[in-house]
Amino acid sequence: MTRSNPTALTPAAFQILLVLAGGERHGYEIMVEVARQSGDGLRLGPTTLYRTIRSLLNAGLIDEADERPDPALDDQRRRYYRLTPAGRQAARAETERLRRLVAVAETKPLSAPPAPESN
């Protein structure tokens, strides 16, 4: 994923952007919310999560939040992430790309029985 092609998002990157579209989150919250919003269809392990976060940070699609919750209510080691305007645009572009792809898929006879084989 690069700034020149912000729609080249992996499923993990797209899901993280979708989670952060709802507000700032720390890593564990992102993992839990990705699993929830995907109906447990996508579970991110720590390596995939933080590798993807690093990639999104480097691409300017997310950044680390400056403000922290009250230290008495939160672990100081947690880092919070938020969507940037470029990240919001990338998520919108990916949503539109997927919408077009689904529209094409809906025109295909995907549920039709396979054609009989000729001998």
- Rounded-to-integer distance, Cα 11 and Cα 14, Å: 5
Q: What is the pLDDT of residues 64-80, one digit of tens each?
A: 988 765 555 566 678 89
pTM of the full structure:
0.80
Domain residue limits at 94 = 11-102
| 15 falls within a domain | yes
What are the angstrom distances between the C-alpha of 37 and each of 18, 32, 110?
Answer: 9, 9, 26
Q: Which amino acid is at 12?
A: A
- Rounded-to-integer distance, Cα 63 and Cα 25, Å: 11
87: CATH = 1.10.10.10
Q: Which residues pair with 82 in a beta bridge?
A: 63
| 98 falls within a domain | yes
Q: What is the pLDDT of residues 5-50, one digit of tens each?
A: 445 699 999 999 999 999 999 999 999 999 999 888 889 999 999 9
pLDDT interval class at 3 (50, 70, 90): very low
Name the token pair of 16: 């993280």
Q: Which residues pair with 25 in a beta bridge?
A: 81
Our count of domains for the chain comes to 1
Does residue 94 have a pLDDT over 70? yes
